[in-house]
Structure 1
Amino acid sequence: MLVGPPGSGKSTVGAALAALLAVPLHDTDAAVEAATGRTVSDIFVEDGEAAFRALERAEVARAVAEEEGVLALGGGAPVDPVTQEVLAGQVVVFLDVGIADAAKRVGFDQSRPLLAVNPRASWVRLMNERRPVYERLATHRVDTAGRTPEDVASEVAGLLGAS
């Protein structure tokens, strides 16, 4: 499964990795959106972060138990203690990225609710809070900065012994 901050490439690299391995991709944010019929941003705004995190926690637990293939987790999912327990013993790849590359990829637009106010400072704060969790949970760490999704997917496949 893939973890990392906004802009690290979890969804994009996940799609490339799933194609490379000829397995399905399951993106937990997309699954929450499909199940609720609302965007993550709308859930944050209308119901609050706690409501979204509860949906996310349930989806990650379900996906780890039931889904096959590549699993891309939302950036904040691994911070949840219950989710950390679910991820224990799983193969977790931390897609690491610096703010310069993350900014190019996500544009820090309104679809990223936790980055809506002062996006660069918010991203740095989130990353400072989350990095220790990503690193502790990770089986592997891959730097995505300045690299194509295909190149990163190829490295991840190699680390997983699939190339």
Structure 2
Amino acid sequence: MTGPVVVLVGPMGVGKSTVGELLAARLGTHYRDTDADIVAAEGRPIADIFVDDGEPRFRELEREAVRLAVAGHDGVLALGGGAVLDEATRDLLAGLPVVYLTMEVGEAIKRVGLNTARPLLAINPRQQWKQLMEARRHHYTDVARVVVATDDRTPEEVADAVLDALELKRPPGTDPRTPGKENLV
């Protein structure tokens, strides 16, 4: 096994899961999400892990979930928004086809809103999101092979941009580009 064919990173709400599932379908492979792995292993939502055990414990679980997924998955892999905070995780991602999906704060608030299931955005979501991005943006860009903007794009357009940016094959008969859109930011 050579590792994931695509690894998606970026902030919460950017569409990693939606785009990841589309990419997996288009590439004829499997999709895996490390947040879903954690929920399955723990038998409870991530918000409950944060409340009951704290963020440090969640980050330990996340580090292990990423390690297992990188070692055991050869399809499309989506990481939780904060996974790149861990140095060992960033080291694991070196050399992999990592795509950083971006969005601006206005788009983030439209997508995530006041969603209380996202524990890091429970109070003042706009300000919290900006602070999270200030702390994480450089990690996202450091691990990424390519950067793809998601603002004002459909998930299908984002998936096309990812395939184009990584020069991955798509099924015969699909349009190779979405006209009028930039593929990278």
Taking structure 1 as the reference length, the TM-score comes to 0.97
2:121 to 115, 134, 143: 115
Alpha-carbon offset, residue 117 of structure 1: 1.1
Q: Distance in 2 between matches of 1:10 and 1:102?
A: 13
Give the deviation of 1:44 after TM superposition: 0.3
Which of these residues, 105, 126, 139, is aligned with residue 111 of structure 2? 105
Q: Which structure 2 residues correspond to residues 16-31 of structure 1 after superposition, within 5 A?
A: 16-31=22-37
Is 1:53–1:77's contact at 8 Å kept on the other side of the alignment? yes
Aligned amino acid, residue 73 of structure 2 = E
Q: Which residue of 1 aligns with 2:137?
A: 131
Structure 2 counterpart of 1:158, one-letter code? D
Q: 1:31 is aligned with what amino acid?
A: D
Q: Which runs of 5+ in 1 are unaligned?
A: none
Whether the 8 Å CA contact 2:113–2:125 is kept in 1: the answer is no
Report if the CA contact (8 A) 1:5-1:96 is conserved.
yes
Percent of aligned pairs with the same residue? Answer: 53
* 1-structure distance, mates of 2:50, 2:72: 26
Q: Structure 2: which 5+ residue stretches go unaligned?
A: 1-6, 171-185
Letter in 1 for 2:157: D
Cα offset, 1:160, TM superposition: 2.0
Query: What is the CA deviation profile of residues 132-157 of structure 1, one whole-angstrom value per residue up to 9, with x for unaligned ones?
Result: 11011110000000111111001111
* Deviation digits for residues 54-110 of structure 1 (CA, Å, limit 9, x no counterpart): 000000011001012100000000111111111111111000101111112122311
Q: Greater helix share, 1 or 2?
A: 1
| SS of match in other structure, 1:74 | coil
Given the alignment, which residue of 45, 53, 56 partners 1:50?
A: 56
**What is the number of residues matched between the two proteins?**
163
Distance in 2, matches of 1:74 and 1:155, equals: 21
Give, in whole Å, the separation in 1 of the partners of 2:113 and 2:25. 26
TM-aligned CA distance change 1:157 to 1:36, over 3 Å? same
Give the structure 2 partner of residue 72 of structure 1: 78
Cα distance in 1, alignment partners of residues 23 and 107 from structure 2: 20
Which is bigger in relative contact order (C-alpha 8 A, separation at least 6)?
1
Amino acid at match of 1:140: V
CA distance in 2 between partners of 1:136 and 1:54 (Å)? 21
- Give the structure 2 partner of residue 145 of structure 1: 151
After superposition, the CA RMSD in angstroms is 0.9
Moved over 6 A (4+): none
Cα distance in 2 for partners of 1:127, 1:80 equals 15
